[in-house]
């Protein structure tokens, strides 16, 4: 999203989820995304965003030092639990996975969240947890999150919410759907374009 919004040219290489060799070879840890650039590599998302933002449009350093950013990170962590619990059992059937990487991902994630079959049966519980959080987000849209213009918070929030589109029978409110589609347009972003091309 940041690369697209800042109109920075790039090429994307999709790694299989069970590919441990490539990230370890490049950075010493199994963590994605990885940015390769003239002179180095890095793999912490917020550091990558800051590195790419040469003109400080997103004001990442300044925002991260504010106390309300800690509150926002806490909120994102709360939001991530029901989002991931709802979406993971469906994500594994996206083009991102083949048979071996799907089994690898499922085994790792079930250690933390429990069997995906059980997550499916607990769908209503996760939706109940999610509903007030989505309402809170919706109440903050002006039309971006607490702002008239797209900013750093929107990138982080959209990254958390986007995966819910994969969940059958889940539907965003019209306001949040339009918010996410606006970000998609602003950032020239297509979640699975790398897999279709």
Burial class (CB in 10 A: 0-12, 13-18, 19+), 85: buried
- Please tell me whether residues 71 and 108 are part of one structural domain: yes
Residues 147 and 86 occupy one common structural domain: yes
Pair of tokens at residue 179: 């918010």
- pLDDT at residue number 13: 87
- Pair (87, 157) in one structural domain: yes
> Same structural domain for residues 105 and 30?
no
Query: Is there a single domain that holds both residue 165 and residue 186?
Result: yes
CATH number of the domain where residue 43 is located: 3.40.30.10
Rg (CA), the chain: 17
One domain, residues 64 and 48: no
The pLDDT, as a whole number, for residue 197 is 53
Do 43 and 69 fall into the same domain?
no
Query: Based on the structure, what is the number of domains in the chain?
Result: 2
Task: Please give the pLDDT value at position 87.
Answer: 96
pLDDT by residue, tens only, the chain of 197 residues = 999 999 999 988 888 899 999 999 999 999 999 999 998 999 999 999 999 999 999 999 999 999 899 999 999 999 999 999 999 999 999 888 899 999 999 999 999 999 999 999 999 999 999 999 999 999 999 999 999 999 999 999 999 999 999 999 899 999 999 999 999 999 998 866 665 55
Check which CATH number belongs to the domain holding 121 and give it.
1.20.1050
Which domain does 18 fall in, by range?
2-52
Query: CA dihedral in degrees (170, 171, 173, 174; nearest 10)?
Result: 170
**pTM, whole model, 2 decimals?**
0.91
> What pLDDT does 64 receive?
93
Tokens 């059992």 label which residue? 89
Q: What is the pLDDT of residue 192?
A: 62
């Amino acid at each position: 999203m940041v690369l697209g919004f800042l109109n920075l040219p790039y090429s994307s290489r999709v790694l299989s989820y069970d590919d441990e060799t490539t990230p370890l070879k490049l950075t010493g840890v199994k963590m994605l995304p990885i940015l390769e650039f003239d002179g180095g590599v890095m793999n912490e998302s917020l550091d990558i965003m800051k590195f790419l933002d040469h003109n400080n449009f997103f004001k990442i350093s300044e925002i991260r030092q504010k106390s309300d950013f800690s509150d926002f990170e806490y909120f994102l962590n709360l939001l991530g639990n029901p989002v991931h619990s709802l979406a993971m059992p469906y994500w594994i059937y996206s083009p991102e996975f083949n048979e071996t990487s799907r089994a690898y991902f499922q085994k790792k994630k079930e250690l933390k969240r429990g069997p995906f079959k059980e997550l499916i049966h607990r769908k209503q519980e996760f939706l109940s947890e999610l509903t007030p959080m989505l309402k809170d987000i919706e109440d903050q849209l002006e039309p971006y999150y607490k702002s008239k213009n797209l900013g750093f918070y929107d990138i982080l929030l959209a990254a958390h919410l986007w995966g819910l589109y994969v969940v059958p029978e889940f539907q965003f409110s019209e306001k949040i759907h339009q918010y996410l589609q606006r970000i998609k347009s602003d950032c020239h972003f297509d979640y699975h374009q790398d897999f279709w091309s």
